[in-house]
Amino acid sequence: MRFLLNLLTDPLLLAFVVMALGWLFYVRRRYRRAKLCFVLAGSWILIMAVTPLSIFLTKQLEYQYHILDPGTVKKNQDRPIHIVVLGGGASVGEGVTTADQLSGDALSRIVEGIRLHRRISGSHLVTSGFSIRGDRSQADLLATTAVELGISPADTLWLHQPTNTREEAAAYRARFGDSTTIILVTSAIHLPRAMGWFRYQGLDPIPAPANHLVKFNPDRWTYNWWPSYRKVMLMDKVFHEYAGLAELAWARRSQDN
């Protein structure tokens, strides 16, 4: 279902499908319908690449949770503190550092995890993520990066198998249960969906956003109208997250029924 949702909600793919439909109408000499399809596809591309809509939608997802102040985390002697860093993609390769094999998302997440771990005594880092091509898993790469940056190997725990956020939440629950204090670290745009899946498992994590894509600078106009491929990229991420949230809503509805 998730694959189908991603396919149907890919913003560029939608534009190309409508353009292809327009070409089909044109070949069949249905010029009015062809013109409508070309106008719709062109307008959608302009909306994505020029208007600030993608920036606005990204902000709505990213700023639902504040940056975590480690000093606000209450410690309980009976509950271990786990800083769960979700996988964010990797490209395993030779001749580069472990950190360089992580995607930008994943690197930002583990850096935030390390920051929190160093300021919360007694905590453990739990890294997650499967291996895309049978090489080292994302969990391995994240944990190794943390160790190379000074974290003790004894303070790292791994979840090698999960392939997506839903599986990460289920794998954590299966291994550790609900008797821990969870700090959930992931990209800010992804955090609402991640929190939803962990809550779906009956867990109550503390949100810790990282890697904000929209940053507010008083000297720059955030909601600008300049054409940019970055806006298309943001729209793609927004669609991806809303597809995941739709899957979460469906799962909750099925659970309730």
Q: What is the dihedral of CA 186, 188, 192, 196, to 10 degrees?
A: 0
Overall pTM > 0.85? yes
Residues 51 and 168 in one domain: no
How many CB atoms within 10 Å of residue 192? 21
Maximum distance among all alpha carbons in the chain? 75
Predicted confidence at residue 70, as pLDDT, reads 95
* Residue 184 falls inside a structural domain: yes
Share of the chain above pLDDT 70, in %: 95
Residues 244 and 189 in one domain: no
Asked if the model's pLDDT at residue 104 lies above 60, the reply is yes
Closest C-alpha to 37, from 7, 17, 11: 17
- The count of domains in the chain is 2
Bridge-based pairing of strands 124-128 and 156-159 is parallel
In the structure encoding, which two tokens stand for residue 204, read together?
A: 């109550």
Rounded to the nearest integer, the mean pLDDT of the chain is: 91
Predicted confidence at residue 6, as pLDDT, reads 57
Domain hosting 17: range is 2-61+236-256
